[in-house]
Amino acid sequence: MNESLIYRSPAIYGAVMHVLYGRHARARLAAVAELIPRGASVVELCCGPGRLYRDHLRGRGVDYLGLDLNPGFVEAARRTGARAAVRDVGDDAPLPSADIVVIQASLYHFLPAPEGVVHRMLAAAGRRVIVSEPVRNLSSSGIGLVAALASRSADPGSGAGDRRFDEASLDAFMRRYARLVEREFAIPGGRDKVFVLDAAAAAVPAGASEAES
């Protein structure tokens, strides 16, 4: 199956994620949703077809905005009732302000220098930043179908599919934000790890990384 087809079709993408994560596919979104208070404003980067909103945030009084480079995903998110917009969040421009700014399973797209995205998330968030990232690479699975799907779904044409975090490299990257970390934990199934950062405490000077502040 062509990787561009996986990424451009919300239905196929959802089916692939279900195969990759199995019974934990819904739990990984629920773990993030539990960190978002009722009535909060939320910006989700690389939101895909808006499943976080559709399955967990809709009906909770959340002011949600999803951003994704893929117009098909943005349209799918809008069909759930979410506000969504086409946006390359790697464009270095300021992000929309919100109480909570979220990125799920997409930080690796910004390797080898993901700190720029995290810095702009901290600048945009009034309360917290949530980073949920895979740390067990399914593309190395011994199950051929799973490995093939993971490899293709990891790379929506960006060339980043072979650059991924494992737990050690994600922990090493997030240590630069150590003073801001409120919580860190593995989601059910252990394939993703979540970091919750206190954006209100960041006070990162414009144009500087957290490591330099």
CATH code at position 111 = 3.40.50.150
Predicted pLDDT at 2: 39
Asked if pLDDT for residue 41 goes beyond 70, the answer is yes
Cβ neighbors of 20 (< 8 A, separation 6 or more) are: 138, 146, 149, 150, 153
pLDDT single digits (tens) 115-146? 999 999 999 999 999 999 999 765 444 444 44
Domain that holds residue 151: 3-212
What sign does the CA torsion over 69, 201, 30, 163 have?
positive
CA atoms within 13 A on the CB side of 203: 2
Q: How far apart are CA 138 and CA 147, in angstroms?
A: 6
Band of pLDDT at residue 9, cut at 50, 70 and 90 = low
Give the per-residue pLDDT at 28: 83
Whole-angstrom Cα distance, residue 53 to residue 109?
22
Distances (CA, A) of 59 to 30, 47, 74, 76: 15, 18, 19, 18
Q: What is the pLDDT of residues 10-29, one digit of tens each?
A: 655 565 565 565 666 678 89
Radius of gyration of the chain (CA): 16
45-59, 84-98, 113-127, 157-171: least confident range:
157-171
pLDDT tens by residue, 77-113: 999 999 999 999 999 999 999 999 999 999 999 999 9
Give the torsion sign (CA, 97, 100, 106, 109): positive
What's the total number of domains in the chain?
A: 1
Cis peptide bond prior to 112, omega within 30° of 0: yes
Percent of residues, the chain, with pLDDT higher than 70: 71
One-letter amino acid of 52: L
